[in-house]
Structure 1
Amino acid sequence: MVTTDSGLPEGWEVRISNSKNLPYYFNPSTKESRWEPPEGSDTEKLKTYMASYHTSAINRSNLSSNQDGRIRCAHLLVKHRESRRPSSWKEPKISRTKDEALAILSDHEATIKSGEKTLGDIAVTESDCSSARKRGDLGFFGKGDMQKEFEDAAFALKVGEISRIVETASGLHLIERLE
């Protein structure tokens, strides 16, 4: 039974990770913690709650400068049931097909290209990555830090450009080069 406006089942709460500075789900009575929502969550309520209360603005003081060939990107991830980990902060079990994920991401891509919303605007509520809380911002990374397909696409972009849809073991991505 969901008892709060957060959409979480009774006994669950949102806490902030000390190591990653990201929200996670915790049940104080069972001491269980997890990145994905617990079973029984109302995902629509949870999505709204997380977007309202746990979306952090990018803290630029925590971002290192672009040095040693490192770049900074944001992404919008849509997972499917064949993804390496078919769950996310929004959904404990993702059951959509790869084709359904592709259709969802294609719609987001069209919205971004039309100028109606930015990748970051959409990522906050729609990305299946925990970076959604940071508008999809992954921070700085270098060669060898990401999955090869993601890295190849990201390093091929110029600052301000958005990739075509990129497939990795994690799911389907749109990538924006920030720096």
Structure 2
Amino acid sequence: MAFLRRGDTVKIKGLERKPQFNGIIGEVLDVDEEGRSARIVISRSGRRSEMAVRLRNLKLIEERPPPSFASNGIRYDSIYEGCRVRLCGVSSHSHFNGLEGTAIARDLHRWKVKLRAADKWLMVPEKHLEVLDVSDESGRRRLMKEWQYPSQNPEDPRWLIDKM
């Protein structure tokens, strides 16, 4: 199962008790790793509803757009769970500067970061993290494919799909 995070677009599959929901597209609101489920929002017949679905019954079809996407409502500098970050400005452990990782969870003003190059986790103050931008010169960011499914969140640029 792919790592899901808030804003990802998923397709429901393999439900046996409620097969009428199979094939429906939804958007992840939050993920409960311990319970192995996700709360998603779906839109059917113009009505929005939320439902909890086991992770094994969800297929990731589109990832949330990066925060640097030029759109109203998405702040460029905001860090969110699952985004790629780079450590910077750390003076006490300067050897960490420049390392990249994934922001996993927030605890007050610090983020739990899974380092990309090593199997290590660090608690890093958010002032020492920068979000990796789509236009980052390192070129290590995966190219985004064209979005197909509208978002349920008006702050997400995918919300405009099928609205124009």
The structure whose Rg is larger is 2
| Between structures 1 and 2, the one with greater helix share | 1
**Larger RCO, structure (CA 8 Å, separation 6 or more):** 1
| Between structures 1 and 2, the one with greater strand share | 2
Does the alignment reach a TM-score above 0.5? no
TM-score (norm 1): 0.27
